[in-house]
Each structure stands twice: as structure tokens, then as C-alpha cells.
Structure 1
Amino acid sequence: MALHAPAYLHVSRHRVFYLRWPLPKALHPQGRASTVKVSLETRDKRRALQLARSLGYSAERLIAKGAATGMTYEDIRAAIKEHFRAMLERRKAGMAAEGRLDAEAVRMLQSSLRTAQDALERDTPLSLADENDDELLGRFIGLYGLPIQKGSPAYRQLEVEFKRGWRDHCEAVLEHDKAFDKFTFGTADEGQSLPKAPVTPIATLREVGERYIEENIRGDRWAKKTEFEKGDHIALLYEILGAETDIRAVTAPKAREVKETLLAFPKNRNKNPKTKGLSLAEAIVAPGIEKLNVQTINKYLATYAGLFIWAKNNGYVDDAVFSGFTIRQTKKPGKGGRDAFSADQVSTMLAELVHNKTGLIHKDYQKWGPLIGLYTGARLNEISQIHLSDIRKEQGIWCFDVNDDDDGKQLKTGASKRLVPIHSRLIDLGLLKHVEAMREKGAKKLFPDFSYCPKNGWGCSLGRWFNDTFLKKIGLTDKGLVFHSLRHTVVTFLMQANIPEPIVKAIIGHAQAGVTQQNYFKDGYTLRQLSDALEHLHWPEL
């Protein structure tokens, strides 16, 4: 699957990705709107997207601090010292985990050291990477919200001290690397203290979060939509606690702080005009804004619980501090969640889908998408990404091959890959004739006009039309009724028809439970068994 770089990512001539971020006029050295540019130090597009997502939140937090007061010479040195100290700690942690610098890295640091020393002695620019010194210092000022104007005495001090900081950073990294050249075996009596083996790795919240995300992606444990959702959740955690926070500093009180922030967090923060562009502190106190519902809050907390369980298992922390933090809910009948359609509601839908009584159906997907959902229980995205080659006979039975064999397809879990028999009513309504007509036109997909969304897959058009137009027009406006309710409906009616639960799971693509099903029944149910079960779906039509 091709990943398209969004506008805030830029690729240098060396194919290295950079993050560009808007810089408000108030924080620009020359008082004009511009952007900051940060090297993501990777040529991998997927990695760049992960880093950009979290860095974007950090940039918002830093820029939002503003610049209300001036800075002293001591303030400038403290900011530079903290910046390069953090860089040095990351380099040390990298060497501790992966080994010493390679020859090329050493040569680059030595060259940078000489450049910085020469720039100090001759009062010439550093000219690092692909940017001049004004761009470099403007980026530094913007990221840390420093109240420094270009041309001011403070700017001149920053220029000089940044060169010293860069020189000393390069020297410190080289010295740390050189310390690995030999072992020392002195005793404590000789005045040398033996180094203590670290109990846990030194890592920031961002570093642990990125490793957690990367491992789950490489393990193919998340669907694409889940990957985006988890990334957004963890990016908010960076914003609340600070991405560069030592992972070991995230204790139970910090976890409670996160939970309290989520309870006050606005719904659709980046879409609502009243909160879009506001800092976190401003957004959570904005008046008259709907807050996240409990179900969404629990999704965030579940992500954080998973992150810290992983961090504990991998030796970064001693306690999984978010475990048990989700909010307990008392389920009220008819409140929240997705509901199944009743038999009468199914009849109302079929009257429109089959006979188009009020003229709501204008396109093929508006008819066949919901009908396939109603007679298979398949997920929205599974239906929306069907290729014509996925509709074929197996064991003498027409079926849908639900798979992720194409680069653009996604499945929620491993159990989602399956064959689903085509219900006889779909055949009676002309589905196979429609498929054959599409093949004759040279089409490859059942719904060729659908566009792909990296976050939500192929089902956006069908889902929006069904939920926002179709259901409302036919009077089915209950909050719990959406396209996914078709899946609930199929499960409900099959179970009420006394179809065994393992067969229902096989039809809808849920993982089986128990040793017998998981380990001994690997071939699964026959298509004939699944087809016979599906034929119990008899919807009354008006």
C-alpha cells in the first residue's frame, strides 16, 4: 500500500524527511508568519508519518506557550544546555542499546566539531544540514517559545551560545563513544566507583511510545484504522505529559492527571471551530463544548494501559500504571453502543433497497452495499473493498472471498480472512448478473468509484450515505442504528434461529474460543454448513 506524504512533511535532496510546522507571527524572530523545520532523521515514509504525528502535538504545545517576557543571558544558556543535554542522552541511550557509532557517524561528528569551533573563532555561520543559521535559530526559538527577536542583543547571544552548545555536544558524544575503547578495572579503594548496571533502560515517553507502535505494526497486530487511532491516542499522551518525559516518571499520580484531562477533553477538538488551534489548557476549559463520552475515554485509557503493560514487559517501567483505570459503566437498555435492526425495520429498509420506492437509490453501491451487509454480516470495509475476482464458486457454492491479498485491502484481524457463502436472496435479486456486467465493462472492483482513506479504508462513501442519508430519509433515526448494525442484526437473527455460536463466528469473522476450536478444528466448517446457516435469514419484505 502506498503511503502519501501529507503537506507538513518535506523530503530533502538527500531523501531525509523533515516536519514543517506553522510558526505564529508572535514567535517569529522577524515578527512574520512562517514555518519551522525539524529533521525526522529517517528516509522511511511510514516512520516519518509516525514521528510527524507525535511531533505535531509537541509543536502545538511548545508554540502555545507564547512569548510574554524577555530572556536573560542565563536563560539563553539554560535553554541551550537543556536542548543539547536531551540530545546527548538520546545518543547515549542509542549507543547503550545498539552499540558504538560507526565510522561515518564519527567522521560527521568530527567535521561538525571543527565547523562549530571555526564558526566561533571566525564569527561565521554554522550552516548545518539544509538550512542557514537564521532558519536554524528561528526553528529553535519557535520550538521552545523563546521571546527573542532577530537583531536584538539576545538574538546575538543565542547565535554565539548555540555554536558553543553544538560544539560541546559533538565533543561530548565523541568522548562518550571513545570511553568504550577500553575497560577499567580499578577498585573502590583506589577512589574509583564501579559503574552500576542500569535497572531499566533510559527512555523518554516518546521513544517508548514509538517502539510500542512500531512493534505492533511490524507484528501486523493492528488494522490500519486501529494504527491511526492508537497513534492519535498516544500523541495526546505526549501532549498531556510531555513527549520527552522520562518514562519512569509516569507514576500513578501522573496517570490520574491523564484521566482527569480526558474527562475534561473536548469532543472533536481539531474540527470544532471553537477549539481548533487552541492549546490543550485552553481547549479543556473552553465554555459550551461537548466533552468526550465515556466509551471514547475508555478507548484512550485502554491504549495507555496496553502501552504501559508493554513497557513493563520490556523493562522500561516497574508498574503498568494505567491498568484498571477505565471507567465502569452500567449498561442501560437502548442507551449507547450499536443496536440490531428489528424485523420491521429490516422490512422498511428492503422496501427501499429492492424496490427504490421513494427514489433514494441512485448508485449501485447504495443498493448492493447494504444488501450484502444484511445477508452476510460482513463489516463495512470488507464489503467496500470486494474485488470482482473475490466473487466466485467454491465447492459448488457461490461465495465472497474476504481477504487482504491486495495491497489496498485491510482486515481487522486474522480471523477476518474467510469465505462467506452468497445468500440465495442476493442471487435472486441479480447480484451475479450485476457482477458479470461489471466484468464485461472491464471493472476490477465491485465498487470501483470508492476512494481509499488511510485511516478508514474504502468504506467512507457507503458508510456516510447509509448513516447520514438513507436511514434518516426512511425514518430510522435511533442513535444506535448505523451500518454496523447490519452486522449486529445478522448475528442476532442467526442466534435466535439456534445456529451454533461457532458457526456464527465463522460467518462473521470472529476468532473461535477454546482449545478444541482453536487447535483441533483448523480446517473449519464447510461452505455447505455455512451456507445452510445463512439461509435461515428470511427477511420479510413489504
Structure 2
Amino acid sequence: MQTMGHEMFVGVRSASEVKEVFKGIIDLTLGIATQGYFDPAASTQQIDASCLVNADFHDLAARNGGVAVLSEADEERLRADGRDDDHIEHVRRLIRSAGGELVLSDAGIRARLEHIGVRSLPGTISQDRLLVHRAISEGQRRAALFHDARVVASGDPLEFLMTQGGTLTASLQAPHTAPSTRTGPSTAGDTQQVPSEANATPPLLSELVDQIVQNVVRSGDWTVGTGDDVRRLMKQFIWIIGDKPCLDYVQADVAKFRQALWDMPKSVRVQSIWGKPYALAVEKFPKLTPANTRSNKTINKDLSYMSTFTKQMVAVGHWPVNFINPLGLAVTITPQQKSSGRVPWKPVHLEGLFNSPIYAGNKGSKRRLIAGTAVFHDAAYWMPLLGAYQLGRRDEHAGHLVSDFVFDQGTPHILIAPNEMRCLKTPESERFLPIHPRLLDLGLQEFVEAAIGRGEKLLFPELWLNAVKKGGDQYYSISWRKLVDWLRKQPNITIPCTSAGKQADFHSIRSTGLSQLDRADINQNIVSDIAGHSREGTTARSYQKLLESGGLEDVLQERLKVLSRLPDYAAGVKRHPLNVMHVNVRTR
């Protein structure tokens, strides 16, 4: 089995370094927080209260990425710990004084590490921030116990608080909920446990999922939509394997999960049944057939998501390095599997789609596929056109911002780049695409400019309203699936499918276009550029030099000539006056 080398986790502290940071900051905090106890004129009660306020303040910062936030759930938890109104108000004052910014700047974190003799490492600032806040919070809690009878009886209060204080503070922090029975989403305040030297039970994995996913989304590695997908995947993992203390999982659990995905028909809608025990739900699964078996490519994608999740668990200190290795279970995809994974449409199918009532006239929201006189402009109208004439991936087009479209600088074009709604599959996927004349003829510029005029940032905001399905997934659910069902019912139409029973889908539009451009007299390097694939024999550096030399217009013109070779599937579609419904009823 393949194992992860330490070099894969550059920028992550080792367990011994984590321990050194935690102990060092506790030591420093105890030295600062207990100074008042040695002043005969100081009020011991006030110092105790101040220590607890500071402890809770830094705990809140640790729970929210370094920014102290007091949610209703946090306040309820603090009151359950015995905090009164005065205490809560003092915490609020500290939060207001921070002004919604990081409580400790990056420089402040590094200065504290330097003070305790710990070197700063590239890329560990987020982990260090969490550790420092947790350690300050723990140190302040220990300081508040300076006059505890057990501490006084030791004869050396500071030594006792350093070496045994964790046992005292752990005994004061009993859980107030039963996380294993929780069905709703956890709050940020539920996702982290205060480290201590006591043998406390590690948090349940279910308590950590939301915050770990949020961390990766904030880092820019996942979009919000991808984060939602991973959240569902990890909940599915917990449903199948069981919700255990996070350190109780082993590599065999990941292997068991992979096997369960192989054995589960892809037609099973897990979210509708995961309220039942998995052992009971699996008995009702439909029979597994070649047509409803998950592809190895899909399995590998899920394992890749789990791998990124694992790295973040390591980064924040919940799992040690090399704890589990999801990618060690990745499946080899053969060239035959790659080539047979998706079947293209034929031009007659796409012509049929563009003859549907969505384009010819319909009866309005939720009746878009019933013949009528109205034509509306939204994702239901534009997504198939963008796929057929621009050859982008589904999620690339579903995640468009209005700022992606440029109409007043040379050849009208689209920028496909990462943004908060979408990630790109490869670095080569970031590209400029000239807008096909057919889309301009049908009013794409008017549609985009009207969206800008309404103050909309997203080209298709209706695809991002659903809390569960977003972007391309939402488009598939509320529009594409129904459009294909309509096409299936048309005379002399058979939906293409692979030998394994996989039917043509939205991505097959792209396959159709690329197949149409696979001709001897068409430069295939340009086709690769349009598709967002890497060029054969052409380095990314030389291509970048072309753009830097002011050659964007030449590049756009080259690509436009190639795109113009596509069959004009929507030649029969007439332009209608711009007609945009309220966002809540678009693409219905």
C-alpha cells in the first residue's frame, strides 16, 4: 500500500513541535496572568474573573479562525459553564475592542513563538494561530486556579499548574450536549476541543466536519459548492462507518467505505435515507447493475476529496501525519475506461434540444417544456447554448460571474478562471474564449448587461439559492434532467448511451463539439486551448509569452475561427425580446 511521505505535509508541524508550542505558550501565559496574585493590594477575585474572561475570549478566537465571535450557541454554552451577565459583558467588550479583526496578527503569532524559542515555519500560521489561542485560553484557565486548595497544598503553585493544571481544567469542562445524536449542522463553536495534558476523549468526527470543510473553502482550495459536496461525503462516511472519536479511525475504515461505495447503486439518494441505520438501509438498496454502478473515476474523486479533508485535519492538529491515506486506495483508470466513460450526442440531438419549448415558446415557470408563446432568458435557456458553442464544462458555465464577459475590448470574449463559485479542473482550464457569433445573435450581451444593471454578480444566481444543491448540480436537477426527458419523448429520438448503460449528459455536449473539431485541417493545439487541455508539445511558458506580448486579440481570433467550424445547432432559434423572471422562479 502506498504511504504518504512527510514531504507531502510541508508546512505542518510535527506532534513534538505542537507539544512544544502548546507548553511554551501556557508557560508564558501563566507567567503573565499570575503576576497580580503576588501583589498584596490586588483583588484575588477580580484577577480570577479577568483570567476567565481572557480564557473565553481566546477560546472564541480559536473557534473562529482567530477572530473572536460570540454566537448565541457560544453564549448558551458559557452560561451553562456558570458564566454570569457581568462575565458575558466583559467578553463582549473584548470582542468589540478587536473590531472584527484577527485578535493576534501574523506578526504577533511569530513574536510569541520566537519568545518561547520555537521557529516559525512556512505555511503553518493557521495551525500556529489555533495552537496559540488554545494555549493562551488554557493558561488563563489554569491561572484562575492559582488559589485552588490543591494548588496551594502543592507548595509550588506555578509548577503544579504547569505540570498538572490540565487535569484540573479538564475536570471543569464537561460536555453539555450529546453530539452523536445531533442531526443538524454543527456550529463553528462545536468543532474544536481544548487541548490539555489530561486524557480527554478526542472529539467525534461529526463535530469537526463543518469547520474542517469551512477551513478548506476559506483557503480557496474548494468552492462553496465543492465544500457542500465534501460535507455530504463525510457525513456519508460517518453514516456507513460510524461516528467515532476522531482518533479511533483507521485506514481499514476508508477501505470499507470505498467498498460500500462500489456496492451502492448510484441511483440511491443517500440524503433521503441516512436518518436510518446503514445496516437497515442497505437491505432496501436496488439491485446493482452495470448501468447504476459507480465509476472508478467517481470513486477516485471522492477519495481525493477525503485526502484534502485529511490534510486539513492534520494541519489543525486533530490527526497526526500519515494517520490515514485515502489516495492510497485510488483505483487505476485504464485508457479504455477513460474513453468509454462518456458518449457524445449527435448533431440531431442538439438540434432537437434547441427546438424545445424553452427556445420556441412555452407557458412560463414550471411549464417551460409545454408549448406556448413565452421565451424566458435564464440558465435553462443559456446553459445548453454555452455548452454547445463555447465547449466549457458544466460547472465552468454554471459558475460564471457577469464580470467574466467582455464586450467592449476587441473580440467579445469570456474569461474562465477560478472564483468563489467554481474551481478549475487543471491549470490549463484557465482561459479566454471568444464568444461564438450565434450567442451574440441570440442576445447574450443584452442578457449580461441587464444582469449588471440589476446589480447581480452571478450570471445565473438562481442556481445558487438551494442550500443542498448548487451550481451545476442544481442546474442538472431543475432543468437539464427535464429537458432530456422531453427529448426522449420526441419521435425518432434515442438517447445515446455507452455499453455500460451510461446515457449522454450535459458533459456530452462538450464531447460532441470536440469530436466535431477533430479534423485534419483544424489545428488541434487551438482545440486544446479552447477545451482547457494542455497542449501537446507546446509549453505553458511559451503560450504565456504570447499573451504577455499583447497577442490576446490574435489568440481570440484564432480560437474564433475554430469555434466557427462547429455545426450551427441553434440556427433555427429566433431571438426574442429579453425576458427575465424573478430570480426565485428562473430555470424552473
Distance verdict in 2 for CA 1:225–1:515, change over 3 Å: farther
Distance verdict in 2 for CA 1:17–1:421, change over 3 Å: farther
In structure 1, the residue matched to 2:107 is none
Contact 2:214 2:227 in 1 (8 A): no
In structure 2, the residue matched to 1:369 is 383
Alignment size in residue pairs: 390
| Alpha-carbon offset, residue 451 of structure 1 | 4.0
Of 471, 474, 485, the match for 2:508: 485
CA distance in 1, matches of 2:198, 2:443: 75
SS at match of 1:400: strand
Distance verdict in 2 for CA 1:457–1:508, change over 3 Å: farther
- Summarize deviations over 1:453-511 as a string: whole Å, max 9, x none: 4665444564334422222212264552322222222222222465334322322334x
| Alpha-carbon offset, residue 317 of structure 1 | 2.5
CA distance in 1, matches of 2:395, 2:383: 10
Does residue 244 of the first structure (1) align with residue 242 of the second (2)? no
The one-letter code matched in structure 2 to 1:534 is L
In structure 2, the residue matched to 1:504 is 527
The one-letter code matched in structure 1 to 2:413 is C
Distance verdict in 2 for CA 1:15–1:429, change over 3 Å: closer
CA distance in 1, matches of 2:278, 2:321: 27
| Alpha-carbon offset, residue 224 of structure 1 | 3.3
Contact 2:407 2:445 in 1 (8 A): no
CA distance in 1, matches of 2:206, 2:522: 48
CA distance in 1, matches of 2:255, 2:421: 39
Distance verdict in 2 for CA 1:116–1:265, change over 3 Å: farther
| Alpha-carbon offset, residue 236 of structure 1 | 3.9
Does residue 379 of the first structure (1) align with residue 393 of the second (2)? yes
How is 1:320-335 mapped onto 2 (pairs within 5 angstroms)?
320=325, 323-326=328-331
CA distance in 2, matches of 1:317, 1:445: 40
In structure 1, the residue matched to 2:343 is 339
In structure 2, the residue matched to 1:36 is none
In structure 2, the residue matched to 1:161 is none
The one-letter code matched in structure 1 to 2:226 is T
How is 1:125-136 mapped onto 2 (pairs within 5 angstroms)?
none
The one-letter code matched in structure 1 to 2:351 is S
The one-letter code matched in structure 2 to 1:377 is L
How is 1:206-245 mapped onto 2 (pairs within 5 angstroms)?
216-217=216-217, 219-238=219-238, 240=241, 243-244=244-245
| Alpha-carbon offset, residue 534 of structure 1 | 0.8
CA distance in 2, matches of 1:519, 1:254: 43
SS at match of 1:420: strand
Does residue 300 of the first structure (1) align with residue 302 of the second (2)? yes
Distance verdict in 2 for CA 1:449–1:285, change over 3 Å: closer
Unaligned residue ranges in structure 1 (runs of 5+): 1-11, 21-42, 46-93, 118-128, 146-168, 177-201
Distance verdict in 2 for CA 1:208–1:174, change over 3 Å: closer
CA distance in 2, matches of 1:226, 1:369: 20
In structure 1, the residue matched to 2:412 is 398
In structure 2, the residue matched to 1:317 is 322
> Greater CA deviation, 523-532 or 293-302?
293-302
CA distance in 2, matches of 1:138, 1:333: 51
TM-score normalised according to structure 2 size: 0.51
CA RMSD of aligned residues (A): 5.4
CA distance in 1, matches of 2:148, 2:279: 41
Contact 2:433 2:559 in 1 (8 A): yes
Distance verdict in 2 for CA 1:436–1:363, change over 3 Å: same
CA distance in 1, matches of 2:314, 2:537: 29
CA distance in 2, matches of 1:489, 1:379: 12
- Summarize deviations over 1:30-49 as a string: whole Å, max 9, x none: xxxxxxxxxxxxx9x9xxxx
In structure 1, the residue matched to 2:258 is 259
Of 432, 436, 441, the match for 1:423: 436
In structure 2, the residue matched to 1:124 is none
CA distance in 2, matches of 1:112, 1:289: 62
Contact 1:387 1:446 in 2 (8 A): yes
Distance verdict in 2 for CA 1:115–1:379, change over 3 Å: farther
Distance verdict in 2 for CA 1:308–1:430, change over 3 Å: closer
Distance verdict in 2 for CA 1:308–1:354, change over 3 Å: closer
CA distance in 2, matches of 1:348, 1:101: 61
Distance verdict in 2 for CA 1:231–1:515, change over 3 Å: farther
SS at match of 1:281: helix
| Alpha-carbon offset, residue 266 of structure 1 | 6.4
How is 1:59-74 mapped onto 2 (pairs within 5 angstroms)?
none
TM-score normalised according to structure 1 size: 0.55
CA distance in 2, matches of 1:385, 1:319: 33
In structure 2, the residue matched to 1:467 is 480
Contact 1:438 1:446 in 2 (8 A): yes
* % identical aligned pairs: 18
Distance verdict in 2 for CA 1:322–1:521, change over 3 Å: closer
How is 1:154-303 mapped onto 2 (pairs within 5 angstroms)?
173=196, 216-217=216-217, 219-238=219-238, 240=241, 243-244=244-245, 246=247, 250-251=250-251, 253-265=252-264, 268=268, 270-272=270-272, 275-286=273-284, 288=286, 293-295=293-295, 296-303=298-305
> Greater CA deviation, 228-237 or 106-115?
106-115
Of 533, 552, 563, the match for 1:534: 563
SS at match of 2:344: coil
Contact 2:388 2:513 in 1 (8 A): yes
| Alpha-carbon offset, residue 398 of structure 1 | 1.4
> Greater CA deviation, 308-317 or 421-430?
308-317
Unaligned residue ranges in structure 2 (runs of 5+): 1-67, 77-97, 101-126, 151-168, 183-192, 363-369, 489-493, 497-501, 573-588
Distance verdict in 2 for CA 1:457–1:19, change over 3 Å: farther
| Alpha-carbon offset, residue 376 of structure 1 | 0.4
- Summarize deviations over 1:28-77 as a string: whole Å, max 9, x none: xxxxxxxxxxxxxxx9x9xxxxxxxxxxxxxxxxxxxxxxxxxxxxxxxx
CA distance in 2, matches of 1:443, 1:315: 44
CA distance in 1, matches of 2:460, 2:309: 38
The one-letter code matched in structure 2 to 1:106 is G
Contact 2:386 2:392 in 1 (8 A): yes
Distance verdict in 2 for CA 1:334–1:359, change over 3 Å: farther
CA distance in 2, matches of 1:449, 1:474: 24
CA distance in 2, matches of 1:400, 1:448: 18
Contact 1:203 1:316 in 2 (8 A): no
SS at match of 2:517: helix
In structure 1, the residue matched to 2:422 is 410
Distance verdict in 2 for CA 1:469–1:394, change over 3 Å: same
Distance verdict in 2 for CA 1:338–1:19, change over 3 Å: farther
